[in-house]
Amino acid sequence: MPSKTVLITGCSAGGIGHTLAMEFQRRGLTVFATARSTSKMSGLEKLPNTTLLSLDVTSPTSIAEAVERIKAQTGGKLDYLVNNSGRNIMIPALDADIDDAKEMFDVNFWGILRMVQGFAPLLIEAKGTIVNIGSIVAYLHKPFTSKLEFPERSVARALSLADRLRAGLYNASKAAVHQFDETLRLEMAPLGVKVVTVVTGSIETNIITNCPEPHLPPTSRYLAAKGALDKQYENKLDFKQATPDAFAKQVVGDVLGGAVGKVFRGPYAGTVRWASHIMPMWMQDRILLDGSDLDKVGKTAS
Protein backbone atom coordinates (compact mmCIF):
# COMPACT_ATOMS: atom_id res chain seq x y z
CA MET A 1 0.00 0.00 0.00
CA PRO A 2 1.43 3.44 -0.93
CA SER A 3 2.45 5.53 2.06
CA LYS A 4 0.51 8.60 3.10
CA THR A 5 1.80 11.91 1.74
CA VAL A 6 2.45 15.26 3.40
CA LEU A 7 3.54 18.64 2.07
CA ILE A 8 5.07 21.11 4.53
CA THR A 9 5.90 24.75 3.85
CA GLY A 10 8.70 26.67 5.53
CA CYS A 11 11.14 23.79 6.04
CA SER A 12 14.35 25.79 6.37
CA ALA A 13 16.85 24.29 8.80
CA GLY A 14 16.42 25.48 12.38
CA GLY A 15 12.67 25.91 12.13
CA ILE A 16 9.52 24.01 13.03
CA GLY A 17 8.88 22.92 9.45
CA HIS A 18 12.26 21.20 9.22
CA THR A 19 11.63 19.05 12.28
CA LEU A 20 8.04 18.32 11.24
CA ALA A 21 9.38 17.00 7.94
CA MET A 22 11.82 14.74 9.77
CA GLU A 23 9.14 13.42 12.13
CA PHE A 24 6.59 12.72 9.40
CA GLN A 25 9.30 10.88 7.46
CA ARG A 26 10.29 8.89 10.56
CA ARG A 27 6.71 7.73 10.85
CA GLY A 28 6.66 6.36 7.33
CA LEU A 29 5.09 9.13 5.28
CA THR A 30 6.23 10.35 1.89
CA VAL A 31 7.31 13.94 2.55
CA PHE A 32 7.37 16.94 0.26
CA ALA A 33 9.47 19.52 2.12
CA THR A 34 9.38 23.04 0.74
CA ALA A 35 11.07 26.39 1.16
CA ARG A 36 11.77 29.30 -1.14
CA SER A 37 15.26 27.86 -1.66
CA THR A 38 16.00 24.14 -1.42
CA SER A 39 19.52 24.97 -0.21
CA LYS A 40 18.00 26.14 3.09
CA MET A 41 16.71 22.65 3.92
CA SER A 42 20.08 21.08 4.60
CA GLY A 43 19.87 17.56 6.00
CA LEU A 44 16.46 16.71 4.60
CA GLU A 45 17.88 15.74 1.22
CA LYS A 46 19.43 12.66 2.84
CA LEU A 47 16.11 11.27 4.10
CA PRO A 48 14.39 8.43 2.22
CA ASN A 49 10.98 9.17 0.68
CA THR A 50 11.59 12.90 0.96
CA THR A 51 11.42 15.32 -1.94
CA LEU A 52 12.66 18.89 -1.64
CA LEU A 53 10.74 21.49 -3.61
CA SER A 54 11.24 25.21 -4.11
CA LEU A 55 7.97 26.89 -3.17
CA ASP A 56 7.05 30.51 -2.52
CA VAL A 57 3.64 30.78 -0.86
CA THR A 58 3.25 34.34 -2.13
CA SER A 59 3.53 33.21 -5.76
CA PRO A 60 0.50 31.61 -7.47
CA THR A 61 2.81 30.36 -10.22
CA SER A 62 5.13 28.66 -7.73
CA ILE A 63 2.18 27.02 -5.99
CA ALA A 64 0.67 25.84 -9.29
CA GLU A 65 3.99 24.25 -10.26
CA ALA A 66 4.16 22.44 -6.92
CA VAL A 67 0.59 21.18 -7.33
CA GLU A 68 1.41 19.69 -10.73
CA ARG A 69 4.63 18.13 -9.44
CA ILE A 70 2.90 16.47 -6.51
CA LYS A 71 -0.12 15.44 -8.55
CA ALA A 72 2.19 13.60 -10.94
CA GLN A 73 3.99 11.80 -8.09
CA THR A 74 0.95 10.86 -6.01
CA GLY A 75 -1.72 10.16 -8.59
CA GLY A 76 -3.63 13.31 -7.72
CA LYS A 77 -3.84 12.96 -3.94
CA LEU A 78 -2.34 14.69 -0.91
CA ASP A 79 -3.12 13.38 2.57
CA TYR A 80 -1.74 16.23 4.68
CA LEU A 81 -0.99 19.87 3.93
CA VAL A 82 0.98 21.63 6.68
CA ASN A 83 1.10 25.41 6.30
CA ASN A 84 4.04 26.49 8.42
CA SER A 85 5.69 29.35 6.49
CA GLY A 86 5.78 32.60 8.39
CA ARG A 87 7.30 36.06 8.55
CA ASN A 88 7.78 38.37 11.50
CA ILE A 89 8.04 42.11 11.95
CA MET A 90 8.60 43.87 15.25
CA ILE A 91 7.55 47.50 15.43
CA PRO A 92 4.86 49.63 17.11
CA ALA A 93 1.80 49.99 14.92
CA LEU A 94 2.19 53.77 14.49
CA ASP A 95 5.72 53.30 13.13
CA ALA A 96 5.03 50.30 10.91
CA ASP A 97 5.62 50.47 7.19
CA ILE A 98 2.33 49.42 5.60
CA ASP A 99 4.07 47.67 2.72
CA ASP A 100 6.17 45.61 5.16
CA ALA A 101 3.02 44.69 7.08
CA LYS A 102 1.28 43.67 3.85
CA GLU A 103 4.24 41.47 2.90
CA MET A 104 4.03 39.75 6.29
CA PHE A 105 0.29 39.13 5.91
CA ASP A 106 0.93 37.90 2.37
CA VAL A 107 2.98 35.05 3.84
CA ASN A 108 1.24 34.45 7.16
CA PHE A 109 -2.37 34.65 5.99
CA TRP A 110 -2.85 34.97 2.24
CA GLY A 111 -0.15 32.37 1.65
CA ILE A 112 -2.24 29.86 3.60
CA LEU A 113 -5.33 30.67 1.55
CA ARG A 114 -3.38 30.28 -1.70
CA MET A 115 -2.06 26.90 -0.58
CA VAL A 116 -5.48 25.70 0.54
CA GLN A 117 -7.09 26.73 -2.74
CA GLY A 118 -4.28 25.27 -4.83
CA PHE A 119 -4.13 21.89 -3.10
CA ALA A 120 -7.84 21.52 -2.33
CA PRO A 121 -8.52 19.07 -5.21
CA LEU A 122 -5.72 16.77 -4.02
CA LEU A 123 -6.84 16.99 -0.40
CA ILE A 124 -10.48 16.32 -1.26
CA GLU A 125 -9.49 13.34 -3.38
CA ALA A 126 -7.52 11.92 -0.44
CA LYS A 127 -10.06 12.91 2.25
CA GLY A 128 -7.06 14.61 3.76
CA THR A 129 -6.16 17.11 6.47
CA ILE A 130 -5.09 20.76 6.45
CA VAL A 131 -2.77 21.72 9.31
CA ASN A 132 -2.13 25.42 9.91
CA ILE A 133 0.53 26.49 12.40
CA GLY A 134 -0.93 29.17 14.65
CA SER A 135 0.37 30.72 17.86
CA ILE A 136 -0.64 31.65 21.37
CA VAL A 137 0.01 35.28 20.41
CA ALA A 138 -3.32 35.16 18.55
CA TYR A 139 -4.92 35.25 22.01
CA LEU A 140 -2.76 38.06 23.34
CA HIS A 141 -2.42 41.79 22.83
CA LYS A 142 1.17 42.18 23.99
CA PRO A 143 3.05 45.22 22.69
CA PHE A 144 6.69 44.39 23.59
CA THR A 145 8.38 43.60 26.87
CA SER A 146 11.33 42.10 28.74
CA LYS A 147 11.49 39.63 31.61
CA LEU A 148 8.49 39.84 33.92
CA GLU A 149 8.54 40.05 37.69
CA PHE A 150 4.79 39.79 38.24
CA PRO A 151 3.35 37.94 41.24
CA GLU A 152 1.31 35.54 39.11
CA ARG A 153 4.59 34.37 37.60
CA SER A 154 3.54 31.30 35.64
CA VAL A 155 0.61 33.13 34.07
CA ALA A 156 2.76 36.21 33.46
CA ARG A 157 5.37 34.19 31.64
CA ALA A 158 2.74 32.53 29.51
CA LEU A 159 0.94 35.72 28.58
CA SER A 160 4.20 37.47 27.80
CA LEU A 161 5.23 35.00 25.12
CA ALA A 162 4.19 37.54 22.51
CA ASP A 163 6.97 39.81 23.76
CA ARG A 164 9.57 37.28 22.84
CA LEU A 165 8.76 37.12 19.18
CA ARG A 166 6.40 39.63 17.86
CA ALA A 167 4.53 42.89 17.89
CA GLY A 168 0.84 43.57 17.37
CA LEU A 169 0.87 43.16 13.59
CA TYR A 170 2.26 39.64 13.80
CA ASN A 171 -0.26 38.80 16.50
CA ALA A 172 -3.02 40.07 14.20
CA SER A 173 -1.86 37.85 11.34
CA LYS A 174 -2.02 34.77 13.57
CA ALA A 175 -5.41 35.75 14.96
CA ALA A 176 -6.64 35.99 11.38
CA VAL A 177 -5.41 32.45 10.71
CA HIS A 178 -7.18 31.12 13.80
CA GLN A 179 -10.48 32.72 12.85
CA PHE A 180 -10.14 31.64 9.22
CA ASP A 181 -9.46 28.06 10.31
CA GLU A 182 -12.64 27.84 12.35
CA THR A 183 -14.74 28.74 9.31
CA LEU A 184 -12.61 26.64 6.96
CA ARG A 185 -13.11 23.63 9.24
CA LEU A 186 -16.88 23.89 8.76
CA GLU A 187 -16.63 24.51 5.02
CA MET A 188 -14.27 21.58 4.37
CA ALA A 189 -16.07 19.03 6.54
CA PRO A 190 -18.74 18.16 3.92
CA LEU A 191 -15.89 17.51 1.47
CA GLY A 192 -14.25 15.06 3.84
CA VAL A 193 -11.27 17.27 4.71
CA LYS A 194 -10.23 17.97 8.31
CA VAL A 195 -8.72 21.28 9.47
CA VAL A 196 -6.33 21.49 12.41
CA THR A 197 -4.95 24.66 13.99
CA VAL A 198 -1.79 24.11 16.02
CA VAL A 199 -1.73 26.80 18.71
CA THR A 200 2.00 26.95 19.27
CA GLY A 201 3.61 27.90 22.56
CA SER A 202 7.27 28.65 23.23
CA ILE A 203 9.48 26.74 20.79
CA GLU A 204 13.17 27.19 19.99
CA THR A 205 13.21 28.42 16.39
CA ASN A 206 15.07 30.84 14.16
CA ILE A 207 12.11 33.15 13.55
CA ILE A 208 13.99 36.10 15.05
CA THR A 209 16.90 35.49 12.66
CA ASN A 210 14.87 36.50 9.64
CA CYS A 211 13.07 39.34 11.39
CA PRO A 212 14.26 42.80 10.35
CA GLU A 213 15.87 44.71 13.21
CA PRO A 214 13.38 47.27 14.50
CA HIS A 215 14.42 50.86 13.88
CA LEU A 216 12.25 53.54 15.42
CA PRO A 217 12.17 56.76 13.40
CA PRO A 218 13.40 59.91 15.17
CA THR A 219 9.82 61.15 15.28
CA SER A 220 8.49 57.97 16.93
CA ARG A 221 6.26 58.44 19.94
CA TYR A 222 7.79 55.25 21.40
CA LEU A 223 11.44 56.23 21.74
CA ALA A 224 11.09 56.01 25.53
CA ALA A 225 10.25 52.32 25.15
CA LYS A 226 13.07 51.51 22.71
CA GLY A 227 15.03 49.59 25.34
CA ALA A 228 12.21 47.08 25.80
CA LEU A 229 11.84 46.65 22.05
CA ASP A 230 15.59 46.07 21.66
CA LYS A 231 15.56 43.43 24.40
CA GLN A 232 12.75 41.64 22.62
CA TYR A 233 14.67 41.60 19.34
CA GLU A 234 17.94 40.56 20.97
CA ASN A 235 16.16 37.65 22.65
CA LYS A 236 17.26 38.68 26.14
CA LEU A 237 14.30 37.02 27.79
CA ASP A 238 13.93 34.19 30.26
CA PHE A 239 11.40 31.62 29.12
CA LYS A 240 11.02 27.89 29.09
CA GLN A 241 11.18 26.61 25.52
CA ALA A 242 10.48 23.25 23.96
CA THR A 243 12.85 21.87 21.37
CA PRO A 244 11.49 21.69 17.82
CA ASP A 245 11.96 17.89 17.97
CA ALA A 246 9.74 17.49 21.02
CA PHE A 247 7.14 19.80 19.52
CA ALA A 248 7.16 17.91 16.23
CA LYS A 249 6.62 14.56 17.93
CA GLN A 250 3.55 15.90 19.71
CA VAL A 251 2.07 17.63 16.67
CA VAL A 252 2.64 14.78 14.25
CA GLY A 253 1.09 12.43 16.80
CA ASP A 254 -1.95 14.71 16.99
CA VAL A 255 -2.32 14.96 13.24
CA LEU A 256 -1.85 11.26 12.49
CA GLY A 257 -4.17 10.47 15.37
CA GLY A 258 -7.02 12.26 13.60
CA ALA A 259 -7.11 15.57 15.46
CA VAL A 260 -9.49 18.25 14.25
CA GLY A 261 -9.93 21.86 15.41
CA LYS A 262 -7.43 23.48 17.76
CA VAL A 263 -4.59 21.63 19.47
CA PHE A 264 -2.37 23.47 21.98
CA ARG A 265 1.27 22.41 22.00
CA GLY A 266 4.43 23.83 23.55
CA PRO A 267 5.19 25.49 26.90
CA TYR A 268 2.58 28.02 28.08
CA ALA A 269 0.04 27.02 25.43
CA GLY A 270 -2.26 25.42 27.96
CA THR A 271 -1.93 28.36 30.37
CA VAL A 272 -2.77 30.87 27.67
CA ARG A 273 -5.77 28.76 26.66
CA TRP A 274 -7.04 28.96 30.22
CA ALA A 275 -6.11 32.58 30.93
CA SER A 276 -7.61 33.95 27.72
CA HIS A 277 -11.02 32.63 28.75
CA ILE A 278 -10.90 33.08 32.53
CA MET A 279 -8.66 36.03 33.38
CA PRO A 280 -10.38 39.46 33.39
CA MET A 281 -9.15 42.01 30.85
CA TRP A 282 -7.72 44.39 33.46
CA MET A 283 -5.50 41.63 34.82
CA GLN A 284 -4.37 40.58 31.35
CA ASP A 285 -3.53 44.21 30.58
CA ARG A 286 -1.53 44.58 33.77
CA ILE A 287 0.53 41.50 33.01
CA LEU A 288 0.98 42.22 29.33
CA LEU A 289 2.09 45.80 29.89
CA ASP A 290 4.61 44.91 32.62
CA GLY A 291 8.16 45.48 31.36
CA SER A 292 7.04 47.08 28.10
CA ASP A 293 8.14 50.60 29.16
CA LEU A 294 4.90 51.92 27.71
CA ASP A 295 4.36 53.72 31.00
CA LYS A 296 7.19 56.03 29.85
CA VAL A 297 5.51 56.87 26.54
CA GLY A 298 3.77 60.20 26.24
CA LYS A 299 5.48 61.64 29.31
CA THR A 300 7.10 65.06 28.99
CA ALA A 301 10.61 65.17 30.37
CA SER A 302 10.98 67.66 33.21
Treating both helix axes as pointing N-terminal to C-terminal, what angle do 111-126 and 168-188 enclose, rounded to 10 degrees?
20
Please pick, among 80, 139, 170, 222, the residue that the annotation labels catalytic.
170
Treating both helix axes as pointing N-terminal to C-terminal, what angle do 111-126 and 60-74 enclose, rounded to 10 degrees?
20
The full length of the chain comes to: 302
Closest CA to 140 of 232, 248, 39, 273: 273
Whole-angstrom Cα distance, residue 192 to residue 66?
A: 23
C-alpha distances in Å from residue 268, one per residue of 139, 160, 209: 12, 10, 22
| Neighbouring residues of 113: CB distance < 8 A, sequence distance ≥ 6 | 180
| Neighbouring residues of 68: CB distance < 8 A, sequence distance ≥ 6 | none
Residue 174: active-site member: yes
Residue 139: active-site member: no
Please pick, among 4, 77, 142, 174, the residue that the annotation labels catalytic.
174
The beta strands (E) that lie in 77-210 are given as 80-83, 129-133, 194-200
Active site amino acids: 170, 174
